[in-house]
């Protein structure tokens, strides 16, 4: 028999007003409904209701991971520096990593993700090809000193992640482990009731090749992705690469200088000349590992510094500052053009050979017209670096792309041999020779999924959980009179006896209005009210999601809820 949780005993103080610092709906509602409490910036305490939801999500994740044959382990969060030095990530992580020292002065970190440690565990435990393939996972606390931890549990500095790792001897084996994870993720997110899309991603600091993200579309999301309305194509905007446009013609007049005073921006220039911004070439100066580089894009487009960083990684990309111009008379701020420039020139593929542009003349207050790519300047590297915009052509079918915001809830990577190389992870192969192992790494934001689900399912009244994830199956409300309370408790016992998880609001001295508001806010899928007709043994059954209500005799409510 399931337990009946009495609201009078539940530690969940509901709030009528949104916390001042809460920007996203899930942040507001999870705090107001008493699910979580902020302990410090990006650090959260899970209160009884929140812990139940978190556990329910973990259970679904665990069941589906077990179903593909992954084995659960638990590794420490407090980790020694050495393995992260070996992989280079002690430095590469920069400010994101929590670093600390023990009493002897030795360096430690709080694990942001565990590729290094899993590789070491497997090197120790698996010595023969017969020991592989192996898939390991944990549901564990991760630490990242995020720059903007402002969306509640959506982006914590301490958070729960399911991370798993696969170890295979062949590329085919890795592809299979990856496919198993992909399928398990689809089942997990479907069971969680999350609306999600699988999109191609960039592999980032992880290294490796194939990588896909599971994105939950939501206004509060910090990721943007493109979706083709015509074909299957979907990708994180950072991963979109466009085919190079066809080269332009070379029939252009000679370069002509234009007197353009006070036009240091594209807007001022386009207005001064009466041309569209797209006719101009914008040259952004950035520092790549300290060296100044120019990046050329059509004047109506923006440079995506994230994408540029991904292309040039592990080089560090920074914006230039005023000091960088001090001893550089060749770089005329606001009037830079690629012609005659002595620095590396990176350009968007739209700056194709044969295209002509209005661009800076490398002289103050002067621009130049008919500056032709391939004739007047050369591009050192073509990189896809513009911010993707709504309506850009789909790289597969050419249809105008749709742009949407989403929350990244999962990420799967084919890492390959990067970490196996670092730690010389070999097993003895069938032929008696050592074989280098190939790896995959797969994450799910378990605590983030709580917020993502809240974002997608909540309405004006509050949270609204799918049944498998909800902190209870039924929320029974006793309107207030002794008879109503008696009936509410009786139904609760019957529902619990039938195996349902019941929350009963039998609080004395709390108005029915407050109880109804709290029930809507807490978001359990079925609400039963013992009210006006309690004397006849009739209660109201309300569906939290649809708002549909009907009056039913008690026995019928119990059978209705237990035969779903």
What are the residues whose beta carbons fall under 8 Å from the beta carbon of 355, sequence distance 6 or more? 247, 248, 372, 373
| 411 contacts Mg ion (rule: CB under 5 A) | yes
* Nearest partner of 440 among 146, 255, 99, 184, judged by Cα: 184
Beta-bridged to residue 293, according to DSSP, are 286
| 89 contacts ligand ATP (rule: CB under 6 A) | no
Stretch that binds ligand ATP, among 101-109, 154-162, 366-374, 471-479 (CB under 6 A): 154-162
Give the one residue of 34, 309, 410, 523 binding ligand ATP; rule: CB under 6 A.
Answer: 410
Contact criterion met (CB below 8 Å) for 313 and 205:
yes
The least distance separating Mg ion from the CB of residue 408, rounded to whole angstroms, comes to 6
The least distance separating Mg ion from the CB of residue 141, rounded to whole angstroms, comes to 18
| 367 contacts Mg ion (rule: CB under 5 A) | no
Stretch that binds ligand ATP, among 125-133, 374-382, 444-452, 507-515 (CB under 6 A): 444-452
| 447 contacts ligand ATP (rule: CB under 6 A) | yes
**Which residue lies nearer to Mg ion by CB, 79 or 202?**
202
Give the one residue of 32, 52, 144, 307 binding ligand ATP; rule: CB under 6 A.
Answer: 144
Half-sphere exposure of 481 (CA within 13 A, CB side): 8
**Which residue lies nearer to ligand ATP by CB, 286 or 407?**
407
**Which residue lies nearer to Mg ion by CB, 162 or 515?**
162
| 418 contacts ligand ATP (rule: CB under 6 A) | no
* Nearest partner of 231 among 393, 406, 410, 404, judged by Cα: 393
Site residues (CB under 6 A) for ligand ATP, limited to 327-386: none
**Which residue lies nearer to ligand ATP by CB, 369 or 411?**
411
Q: What angle do CA 200, 150, 37 make, to 5 degrees?
A: 115
**Which residue lies nearer to ligand ATP by CB, 207 or 443?**
443
Q: Is 547 left (phi over 0), alpha (psi -120 to 50) or beta?
A: left
- The full length of the chain comes to 564
The least distance separating ligand ATP from the CB of residue 403, rounded to whole angstroms, comes to 17
Query: How many residues touch ligand ATP (CB under 6 A)?
Result: 15
Give the one residue of 131, 146, 176, 486 binding ligand ATP; rule: CB under 6 A.
Answer: 146
**Which residue lies nearer to ligand ATP by CB, 384 or 408?**
408
User: Quick one: DSSP state of residue 284?
Assistant: E
Token pair of 433 as six digits = 């020779």
Q: Which of ligand ATP, Mg ion, none is residue 521 near (CB under 5 to 8 Å by kind)? A: none
| 408 contacts ligand ATP (rule: CB under 6 A) | yes
User: Quick one: DSSP state of residue 401?
Assistant: P
The least distance separating Mg ion from the CB of residue 448, rounded to whole angstroms, comes to 11
* Nearest partner of 94 among 112, 70, 77, 80, judged by Cα: 112
Helix (H) or strand (E) holding 429: none
| 191 contacts Mg ion (rule: CB under 5 A) | no
The least distance separating Mg ion from the CB of residue 160, rounded to whole angstroms, comes to 16
| 409 contacts ligand ATP (rule: CB under 6 A) | yes
The end-to-end CA distance of the chain, in Å, is 18
Beta-bridged to residue 434, according to DSSP, are 428
**Which residue lies nearer to Mg ion by CB, 27 or 411?**
411
| Rounded distance between C-alpha atoms, residue 40 and residue 42, angstroms | 6
Q: Which of Mg ion, ligand ATP, none is residue 420 near (CB under 5 to 8 Å by kind)? A: none
For residues 342, 344, 350, 352, the Cα torsion angle rounded to the nearest 10 degrees is 60
| 475 contacts ligand ATP (rule: CB under 6 A) | no
- Which contacts (CB < 8 Å, 24+ apart) does range 45-51 have? 47/11, 47/12, 48/10, 48/11, 48/12, 48/471, 49/10, 49/12, 49/471, 49/522, 50/450, 50/471
The least distance separating ligand ATP from the CB of residue 83, rounded to whole angstroms, comes to 17
| 155 contacts Mg ion (rule: CB under 5 A) | no
Q: Which residues bind ligand ATP (CB under 6 A)?
A: 113, 144, 146, 155-156, 159, 161, 408-411, 443, 445, 447-448
């Amino acid at each position: 028999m399931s337990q009946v949780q009495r609201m009078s005993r539940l530690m969940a103080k509901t709030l009528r007003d949104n916390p001042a610092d809460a920007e996203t709906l899930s942040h507001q509602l999870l705090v107001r409904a008493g699910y979580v409490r902020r302990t410090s910036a990006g650090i959260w305490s899970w209160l009884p209701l929140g812990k139940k939801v978190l556990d329910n999500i973990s259970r679904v994740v665990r069941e589906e991971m077990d179903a593909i044959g992954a084995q659960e382990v638990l590794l420490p969060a407090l980790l020694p520096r050495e393995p992260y030095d070996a992989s280079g990530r002690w430095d590469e992580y920069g400010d994101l990593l929590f670093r600390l020292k023990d009493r002897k002065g030795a360096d430690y970190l709080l694990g942001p993700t565990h590729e290094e440690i899993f590789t070491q565990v497997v090197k120790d435990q698996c010595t023969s090809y017969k020991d592989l393939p192996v898939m390991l996972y944990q549901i564990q606390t991760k630490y990242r000193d995020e720059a903007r931890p402002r969306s509640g549990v959506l982006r914590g500095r301490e958070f729960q992640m399911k991370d798993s790792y696969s170890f295979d001897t062949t590329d085919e084996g890795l592809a299979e482990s990856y496919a198993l994870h992909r399928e398990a993720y689809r089942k997990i997110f479907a069971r969680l009731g999350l609306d999600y899309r699988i999109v191609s991603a960039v592999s980032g600091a992880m290294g490796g090749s194939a990588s896909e993200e599971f994105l939950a579309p939501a206004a509060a999301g910090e990721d943007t992705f493109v979706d083709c309305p015509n074909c299957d194509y979907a990708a994180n905007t950072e991963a979109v690469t466009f085919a190079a446009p066809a080269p332009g013609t070379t029939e252009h007049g000679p370069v002509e200088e234009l007197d353009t005073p006070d036009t240091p921006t594209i807007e001022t220039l386009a207005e001064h000349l009466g041309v569209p911004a797209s006719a101009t070439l914008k040259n952004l100066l950035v520092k790549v590992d300290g060296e100044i580089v120019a990046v050329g894009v059509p004047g109506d487009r923006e440079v995506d510094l994230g994408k540029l960083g991904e292309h040039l990684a592990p080089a560090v990309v920074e914006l230039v500052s005023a000091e960088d111009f001090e001893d550089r008379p060749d770089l005329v701020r606001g009037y830079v053009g690629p012609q005659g420039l002595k620095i590396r020139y990176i350009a968007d593929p739209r700056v194709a050979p044969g295209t002509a542009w209005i661009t800076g003349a490398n002289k103050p207050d002067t621009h130049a017209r008919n500056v032709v790519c391939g004739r007047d300047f050369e591009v050192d590297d073509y990189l896809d670096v513009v911010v993707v915009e709504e309506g850009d052509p789909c790289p597969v079918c050419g249809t105008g792309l749709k742009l949407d915001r989403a929350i990244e809830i999962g990420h799967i990577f084919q890492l390959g041999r990067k970490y196996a190389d670092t730690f010389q992870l070999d097993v003895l192969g069938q032929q008696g020779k050592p074989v280098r192992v190939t790896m995959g790494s797969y994450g799910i934001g378990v605590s983030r999924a709580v917020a993502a689900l809240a974002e997608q399912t909540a309405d004006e009244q509050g949270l609204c959980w799918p049944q498998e994830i909800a902190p209870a199956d039924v929320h029974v409300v006793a309107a207030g009179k002794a008879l109503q309370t008696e009936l509410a408790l009786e139904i609760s016992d019957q529902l619990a006896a039938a195996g349902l998880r019941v929350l009963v609001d039998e609080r004395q001295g709390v108005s029915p209005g407050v109880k109804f508001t709290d029930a809507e806010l807490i978001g359990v899928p079925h609400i039963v009210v013992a009210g006006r007709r309690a004397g006849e043994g009739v209660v109201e059954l309300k569906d939290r999601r649809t708002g549909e209500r009907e009056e039913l005799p008690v026995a019928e409510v119990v059978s209705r809820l237990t035969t779903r």
